[in-house]
């Protein structure tokens, strides 16, 4: 059986810079993480996965279907959705409206339905609002449904982005630094939430994360990127001990010393 999500030989260049160099990546279920120093190509890889960039070489398949050359909205409709590193909410819309937009790919209504308001329209619309408030409930924003997204505190905005992505009923959720700017406590809560999502909805999650404690705690599997190449992959504690990983993070000379030592 092939993996749920499978990418191999991904290469992406910007001019002379090779941002991603022949990276293979596959995942099936649970929470996986991609870590790596700044500029390692993590977000570029996400952008290739979600159709924002077309890879120069390589193949991405999801449930056996190729994603290369599809538009981002088509990829979302197939069941791969993402959040952004720098929050990109629809700032002047309310929280619940943001989630409703996330459901766009699942709305089976046309222009004519919107104009004539057949009974079906009301049923579908009511269902959307119902599910939207459920999703807000899930991320703990139920009582802020009518708040304008721009007015929400930072942590809430991150969670709203998560709810919005969940609106598209993804089978694979890509989260780009979901805990950035959060306190350790908030990050812990969010990870608990992700765990529950995996358990309840059976979705696969792929994280880009800088918060090492979070990554090591929550991930089933960790992949390390450096200079656009995959340098290590495995269980969190395997990766932690990997010499190349320590070198990538702390530099060559410190590799021989304790990984915690200041360099």
Partner 1 sequence: MIRAVAAVAAVALSVTLVDLFPRSILVFLAFQLSLLYVYVTRIPAWLRTGLLGVALLVLMPLIGFRNGYYLEVATQVGIFAALALGLNIVVGLAGLLDLGYVAFFAVGAYSWAIVGSPHANLIFGGGFPLAPGWFYVFLFVGLAVAAITGVLLGLPVMRLRGDYLAIVTLGFGEVIRVLANNLDKPINLTNGPKGITPIGRPPLPFGIPYSEGFYFLVLLIVAVVILVNRRLEDSHIGRAWEAMREDELAAQAMGVPLVRAKLLAFACGASFAGVMGVVFSAKQIFINPESFTFLESIGVLAMVILGGMGSIPGAVVGATVVTVLNLQVLKGFSLWLNELKNAGVTVLGYSLADLPTQLEPAKYERMVFGIILVLMMIFRPQGIFPARRRQRELAHTDKVPTAVVP
* Residue of 53, 84, 234, 247 that binds partner 1 (CB under 8 A): 84
Give Cβ neighbours of residue 192 (< 8 Å, ≥ 6 apart). Answer: none
Contacting range for partner 1; rule: CB under 8 A; set: 96-104, 182-190, 200-208, 211-219 = 96-104
- 207: tokens are 């994280």
Interface with partner 1 in residues 13-72 (CB under 8 A): 50, 52, 71-72
Nearer to partner 1, 97 or 247 (CB): 97
What order of strands is seen across the sheet that includes strand 204-208? 80-82, 172-176, 204-208, 31-35, 221-226, 229-234
Which of 12, 42, 82, 158 binds partner 1 (CB under 8 A)? It is 82
CB under 8 A: which stretch of 5-13, 25-33, 55-63, 73-81 binds partner 1?
A: 73-81
Using the CB atoms, write b or e for 2-39: b if 16+ within 10 Å: ebbbbbeebbbeeeeebbbbebebebeebbbbbbbeee
C-beta closer to partner 1: residue 145 or 255:
145
Task: Tell me: does residue 148 bind partner 1 (CB under 8 A).
Answer: yes
> Is 47:55 a contact under the CB 8 Å cutoff?
no
- Verify binding: residue 120, partner 1, rule CB under 8 A: no
Q: Does 157 bind partner 1 (CB under 8 A)?
A: no
Burial (CB count <10 Å: 0-12, 13-18, 19+), residue 153: exposed
Q: Which member of 90, 171, 220, 242 binds partner 1 (CB under 8 A)?
A: 90
The nearer residue to partner 1, 24 or 73, going by C-beta atoms, is 73
Binding footprint of partner 1 on the chain (CB under 8 A): 50, 52, 71-74, 76-77, 81-82, 84, 88-94, 96-98, 100-107, 109, 111, 113-115, 117, 121, 125-126, 128-130, 133, 142, 145-146, 148, 164-165, 167-168
């Amino acid at each position: 059986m092939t993996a749920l999500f499978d990418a191999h030989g991904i290469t992406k260049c910007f001019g002379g810079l090779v941002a991603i160099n022949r990276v293979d990546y596959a995942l099936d279920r649970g929470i996986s993480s991609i870590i790596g120093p700044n500029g390692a190509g993590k977000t570029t890889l996400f952008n290739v996965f979600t159709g924002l960039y077309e890879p120069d070489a390589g193949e991405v398949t999801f449930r056996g279907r190729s994603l290369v050359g599809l538009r981002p909205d088509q990829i979302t409709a197939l069941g791969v959705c993402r959040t952004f590193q720098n929050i990109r909410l629809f700032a002047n819309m309310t929280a619940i409206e943001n989630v409703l937009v996330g459901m766009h790919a699942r709305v089976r209504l046309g222009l004519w339905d919107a104009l004539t308001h057949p009974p079906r329209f009301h049923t579908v619309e009511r269902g959307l609002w119902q599910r939207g408030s459920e999703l807000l409930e899930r991320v703990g924003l139920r009582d802020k449904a009518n708040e304008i997204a721009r007015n929400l505190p930072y942590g809430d905005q991150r969670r709203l982005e998560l709810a919005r992505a969940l609106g598209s009923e993804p089978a694979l959720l890509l989260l780009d630094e979901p805990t950035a700017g959060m306190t350790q406590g908030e990050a812990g809560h969010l990870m608990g939430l992700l765990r529950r999502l995996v358990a309840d909805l059976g979705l696969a999650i792929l994280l880009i994360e800088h918060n090492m404690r979070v990554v090591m705690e929550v991930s089933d599997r960790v992949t390390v990127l450096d200079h656009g190449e995959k340098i290590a992959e495995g269980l969190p504690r395997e990766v932690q001990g990997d010499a190349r990983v320590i070198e990538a993070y702390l530099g060559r000379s410190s590799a021989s010393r304790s990984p915690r030592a200041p360099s």
